[in-house]
Amino acid sequence: MAHAHPDLTKNQALVFGKLSDASGPLTAYALLDNLRENGFRAPLQVYRALDKLVDYGLVHRLESLNAFVACRHKGCADHKTAAFAICETCGNVQEFSPDRAMEDLLRWTREQEFKLSRTTIELRGICRACSASQQA
């Protein structure tokens, strides 16, 4: 569960705490609102903390949502890339390691001599739970 990273600063710890407690992704401004009672006043306090947390691998940014989730993927540090399945009905996000898929993408980057630095894989759809409850 723990990744290797420097000690978190006060603001980083506050933001990471909120994200860890949340049941799903939060936007930067949702975090700001949730942290006003902790003294947060300005977006930059959130964005700066998020930058570091993403850098440390503790938090992932979901590009298609402009939102952030705490990493709950046990093996995340072992993998170059995480993928996300985002339910458009309930908002839940499931993180997984698309190892085979990454192999194929890496093969493509080798063939093209593309120096990969970051990969985004996001699936949008409806999760099993929501599909089941819709049928009722």
Partner DNA sequence: CCCTGATTGTTATATTATTACTTAGGTACT
Partner DNA sequence: AGTACCTAAGTAATAATATAACAATCAGGG
Residues 6+ away with beta carbon under 8 Å from 64: 86, 122, 124
The answer to whether residue 48 forms part of the interface with DNA (CB under 7 A) is yes
CA distance 90 to 7: 34
The answer to whether residue 33 forms part of the interface with DNA (CB under 7 A) is no
The answer to whether residue 10 forms part of the interface with DNA (CB under 7 A) is yes
CB nearer to DNA: give 28 or 70: 28
How many residues touch Zn ion under the rule CB under 5 A: the total is 9
Q: Phi-psi region for residue 91, left (φ > 0), alpha (ψ -120 to 50) or beta?
A: left
- From the list a copy of itself, Zn ion, DNA, none, partner contacted by residue 71 (C-beta under 5 to 8 A by kind): Zn ion
- From the list a copy of itself, Zn ion, DNA, none, partner contacted by residue 73 (C-beta under 5 to 8 A by kind): Zn ion
Q: Phi-psi region for residue 24, left (φ > 0), alpha (ψ -120 to 50) or beta?
A: beta
The answer to whether residue 19 forms part of the interface with DNA (CB under 7 A) is no
What residues form DSSP beta bridges with 62? 67
3-class SS at 29? helix
CB nearer to DNA: give 106 or 122: 122
The answer to whether residue 58 forms part of the interface with Zn ion (CB under 5 A) is no
